[in-house]
Amino acid sequence: MTKSIHQAISELEKSNESAALCTVVKSEGSTPRHVGSKMLVYPDGRFIGTVGGGDLEHRVLDEAWMAISDGQPRLLHYTMVDPSRGDPGVCGGTVEVFVEPILPAPMIVVIGGGHVGKAVVHLAKWLGFRVAVSDDRAEFCTPEAVPGADAYYPCPMAELPNQLKVTRQTYLVVTSRGSSIDAAGLPALLQSQAAYIGVIGSKRRWLTTVKALKEQGIPDDWIQKVHSPIGLELNAETPEEIAVSILAEILMLRNRGTGKMMKE
């Protein structure tokens, strides 16, 4: 039995997958589908339902895939009169389609289950993120050691992308115990689509890591993806204060903020 669009959307929410819901919101004159017609579009090209077929539908599909990619909704307007001037049909009417991306809640992946990592997990959950923890030391990657995460991945950093799907909704927070760990694990993360990669440590530690990455042949533009030292300058000292600094940077970038004091 073919699943309904509403069933499919419910499954998306449970599986934390992406799609775009396309809905005819205005129809005047002769058009292929009535107001309320829906189509659910998946990133892999599959779709359920229809907004009219033909060239109109192909154009909406292209916009849906772009919406999944950039996370932005769009209202599409089409006049269906004269294909020679670029219209997607000859029905004679006009149609508007609202394309709404359906994206999973953003996930913060804390790589390193020490004191700072534990504080980041606690604050990120309070802020409404999904949270995962990873550490190559199994004893630092358990609900007992780091309470409150949604998932645990006890593995080396380089293997994490094989264990966890890293998407544009993923924020990687590396709170590892040293530059050598970072240099070995970061190349695999730099190839991902992560929205953010931050690495804890001093400027000196990061320069040491950069040197090691370049010796491995990692391109400069990959290295420049990394935010290190991680976080905003708050003169933070305690693990909890450092967690606030890290999450403040992530929120600033995610919400396109400036980081300036509000009174300015």
Q: What is the DSSP string of 105-142?
A: PPEEEEE--SHHHHHHHHHHHHTT-EEEEE-SSGGGSS
Is the pLDDT assigned to residue 239 strictly greater than 60? Answer: yes
Same domain, 20 and 149: no
Task: Please say which residue of 81, 102, 123 terminates a domain.
Answer: 102
Same domain, 155 and 96: no
Task: Please say which residue of 86, 102, 118 terminates a domain.
Answer: 102
Q: What is the CATH number of the domain that holds 185?
A: 3.40.50.720
Please state the rounded mean pLDDT for residues 251-258.
93
pLDDT given at position 254: 92
Same domain, 240 and 128: yes
Q: Say if 77 falls within a structural domain.
A: yes
Contact 237, 218 (CB under 8 A): no
Contact 74, 96 (CB under 8 A): no
Q: What is the pLDDT of residues 208-225, one digit of tens each?
A: 999 999 999 999 999 999
Same domain, 51 and 167: no
Q: What is the pLDDT of residues 24-58, one digit of tens each?
A: 998 876 666 688 899 999 999 899 998 877 788 88
Q: What is the pLDDT of residues 120-163, one digit of tens each?
A: 999 999 999 999 999 999 999 999 999 999 999 999 999 999 99
Contact 26, 36 (CB under 8 A): no
pLDDT, averaged across the chain: 90
Q: Say if 39 falls within a structural domain.
A: yes
Q: How many domains does the chain have?
A: 2
Same domain, 140 and 231: yes
* Least confident segment among 34-38, 55-59, 91-95, 111-115: 91-95
pLDDT given at position 31: 66
Task: Please say which residue of 84, 102, 120 terminates a domain.
Answer: 102
Same domain, 142 and 166: yes
pLDDT given at position 87: 47
Is the pLDDT assigned to residue 81 strictly greater than 50? Answer: yes
Q: Say if 259 falls within a structural domain.
A: no
Same domain, 117 and 236: yes
pLDDT given at position 27: 83
What domain range includes position 189? 107-254
State the pairing for strand pair 107-111/151-153.
unpaired
Same domain, 137 and 90: no
Q: What is the pLDDT of residues 160-213, one digit of tens each?
A: 999 998 988 899 999 999 999 999 999 999 999 899 999 999 999 999 999 999
Same domain, 198 and 69: no
pTM over 0.85: no
